[in-house]
Structure 1
């Protein structure tokens, strides 16, 4: 996919005792389907407000069609991420992530993990269960709702599939997040 940029260039001439200096200031605004301002910030301890709002909408919309969604993970500290990353590597268990500390959207309050509650009150990760008896897997119905709300689904990833994972990256890469970029809560109007 091509990136489109709006570019504004300013020339600033400064006269000093030694001559004239030319400074060129370039402002680049990335338009990669990202309609969110970006601000600098600390690593958050809570979900991003937009992700929080969309998470609640997901739960409500699934409930309307008879599916109980359980959020199993939200914000994860970098230290917690490092521990999970070591699972199946230096500690016992199966590998559950390829994202080391600081390399998960969970670390920036931009991701959630989910499961479903079955009729007996047990949390399940059964992707084929049709608890609302409408002929469709409940899991995939939740995925469809989440995508409609703007989430990306880990089940669509090419390499390491993460089926319980939803995230909103707001057009920001992990590298940008690690360097302090943060999305603001509300989109810019597209006028």
Structure 2
């Protein structure tokens, strides 16, 4: 009886080990496939569509906005990261190349556009004269469209920033995951 239990235990462990081996082999093959994926070269189609809706819906309530930034190449991200550090200017981002949702086409930045065509980043401005900050009205529209707003962040308030992560972390994006993978 004791030998039978031992034999069954060994058989169970061998079968379990076989399943784990097959799973690991498939997982490694999938990871290699992900690692080989190129970085996006523009805004994700859903982010682009929602960006256009943001501009249109803001205009409907008398707020003219400009999307000042969308997809960023790794080189552009590093240039912005260096600003205020090894290059002149003020610090505008803490994210290096590959660490920003902009690098994956999943983020945009906006600003208010004035009647003369100039652009401002004034979060208190109320050009539609409704008693509310135009900036915060635009952020509210963005959130209704499915964006997460950088102004809601606890550590670093990034008021111009809107992003759609599709439930993916930066680490997952760096590993090659894309929103389409999460939607399957």
Instruction: Answer whether TM exceeds 0.5 for this pair.
Output: yes
TM-score, normalised by the number of residues in structure 2:
0.80
TM-score, normalised by the number of residues in structure 1:
0.77
Cα distance in structure 1, aligned partners of 2:170 and 2:130: 38
Determine if the alignment matches structure 1 residue 121 to structure 2 residue 117.
yes
Q: Which runs of 5+ in 1 are unaligned?
A: 1-18, 28-38
Q: Which residue of 2 aligns with 1:132?
A: 128
Alignment partner of 2:158 out of 162, 185, 188: 162
C-alpha displacement at 1:186, in angstroms?
A: 9.6
Q: Which residue of 1 aligns with 2:144?
A: 148
Q: Which runs of 5+ in 2 are unaligned?
A: 1-13, 27-32
Of the two structures, which has the highest relative contact order with CA contacts closer than 8 Å and spacing of 6 or more?
Answer: 1
Helix, strand or coil at the partner of 2:178: strand
How many residues are matched?
159
Alignment partner of 1:50 out of 15, 40, 46: 46
Q: Which residue of 2 aligns with 1:36?
A: none
CA RMSD, 1 decimal = 2.2
Checking the alignment, whether the CA contact within 8 Å between 2:166 and 2:182 is kept in structure 1 is no
C-alpha displacement at 1:185, in angstroms?
A: 9.3
Checking the alignment, whether the CA contact within 8 Å between 2:69 and 2:110 is kept in structure 1 is yes
More strand per residue: 1
C-alpha displacement at 1:90, in angstroms?
A: 1.1
Max Rg structure: 2
More helix per residue: 2
Query: CA-to-partner distance for each residue in 1:69-110, whole Å, 9 max, x for gaps?
Result: 100001000111111111111111111100011100000000
